[in-house]
Chain A
Amino acid sequence: MSLEQFKNRNVGTQNYVMLDLGKEPANNWEKFKQVVRRSVKLELFTGLKVTFREMIKALFMGEMHTVKYPFEKLPIAPRYRAIHEMKRLLESGHYRCIGCGLCEKICIANCIRMDTRYDENQRKEVSEYTINFGRCIFCGYCAEVCPELAIVHGGRYEVSSEQRASFALFEDMLTPIDKLTEQKEYPGFGAVSPDADKKIKKTPLAY
């Protein structure tokens, strides 16, 4: 391998488009001509024109870009991954989480923990569930892996807090029972795809 090859750092396919920049001035005379040409053609004033035009647009034509953030908010994308929400079943109002622990397992920041127990109805009950938001990287794996669409990402992205590690408990994330009717499905990671029905094979039933 020659040194030239080592020096070639243009890895990958090189689909570069070369811009037509004209000819570089070769000698001082050409350089001088370039300076004169540019000065005479007043290219510099194009820049001034553009900025002035933008100022006029911004001030008088209502094209100001600034969003006054805390007072105005832009709509967020439906797949945006912000603070988690725990959903309830619409029919019964019972929380959807079955305590399977898949989110706990898949969490790459290792920030989810849950306590489960055997309850009086012989079911697995989630007695407590926490996400350590000091660690959470909002990757969305938990929502993706959840078999019950129970843990999803919500839209609340303002998460500054006075403590370095803030914990969210089950109750904090669960849809309040009186707001059950306002509960919305999350269309992002882990949601059922629109053509899900076509992808499954039907199991025969004897009923």
Chain B
Amino acid sequence: MDGYIIGTIIKAILILAIISALAGFGTYLERKVLAFMQRRLGPMHVGPYGLLQILADGIKLFTKEDFIPSHANRLIFMIAPAITAATAFIALAAVPLLPEFTIFGVKVRPIVADLNIGILFVLGMMAAGLYGPLLAGLAQHNKWGLLGAARTAVQFLSYEVVTGLAILAPIMMVGSLSLIDFNNYQTGGIGSWLIWKQPLAFILFMIAGYAETNRTPFDLLEHEAEVVSGYATEYSGMRWGMFFIGEYTNMITIGFLASLVFLGGFNPWGFIPGGLAIILKVSFLFFLMLWIRAAWPHVRPDQLMWLCWKVLMPLAVINVTLTGLVMMV
């Protein structure tokens, strides 16, 4: 039992460290990919190919003044970014990141907590992340912040429905809520990937995932031209940075979820071992997010709602119904 606690703590710390580092690296990647797609160079001057730009940005964020507006609700204002970051990381606890492996004779399961309701926990935690932007926007005594908070509530809550309904169909097929069970369901090579059985669910899940991680084309929460910086308007320094880390962590989480649920998880993929396979899949999904940001314009709030309630939600319901019917037959 002691080993389990120590192991869990070590795993938690490792995930925290690696994922937050990856989140930082994600910003670098985003800048680079966007630059290349616009035939620019991106960051070049700090370190080789601008690699140390993350470090420089980090130093900047840490040393910047922690600014709190005079009429803000200080406590909530200060807590809000932590909620975003914390929920993002907590969500990762139930996600098996890699296949089991043995190191120094110790068998390691790269999952902090193998819950039997893993997927529910992840979705629930990500939904709880809504409180971060919402409280931040309400606490900062700023009209842009308020608008940002309102948009947060509308967008996150609406797409929560789509995510849930979309993933319901695979859950029905797998018959478990544990992500490891999902992984094990798809052991039979590419052909056994759930994406082939549930293509619509995959598409709906991806769209909803983009909306929930506040990515283009659904980045309405802090759309500059309309609401300045939305819920983050009054934030600076590391508090603002924590929103960022939360967002990038969520992106990674969505990447893992999509890989595990639809794309065969960490099962070996031909000659590619399972660990590398999932990393490649997550990387591609991450890259896809950046790619889409470079290519597509974003939608209007009314289009967003229209899409959610009139298109995606009915489709998801139909999908669930059809899946149920097929399974009954």
Contacts and interface: CB of A to CB of B under 8 A. Distances in A.
Within the complex, are A and B direct neighbours (CB within 8 Å)?
yes
Given A48-B291, A68-B44, A55 B296 contact: no
A51 B291 contact: yes
A57 B41 CA distance: 12
Given A52-B291, A66-B41, A68-B44, A58 B36 contact: yes
Contacts of B36: 54-55, 58-59
B33 interface: yes
A64 B37 contact: no
Contacts of A58: 36-37, 39-40
Contact of A51 (B37, B40, B41): B37
B296 A44 contact: yes
Give chain B's interface secondary structure class: helix
A180 B228 CA distance: 55
Interface residues of B, number: 14
B21 interface: no
Interface string B291-319: 11011100000000000000100000000
Contacts of B38: 54
B295 A64 contact: no
Contacts of B39: 54-55, 57-58, 63-66
B213 to A, nearest CB: 18
15 contacts: A48-B291, A48-B295, A48-B296, A51-B291, A51-B295, A54-B39, A55-B36, A55-B37, A58-B36, A58-B37, A63-B39, A64-B41, A65-B39, A66-B39, A66-B41
Given A48-B292, A55-B39, A59-B36, 5 more contacts: A50-B295, A54-B37, A65-B40, A66-B40, A68-B44
Interface of B: 33, 36-41, 44, 291-292, 294-296, 311
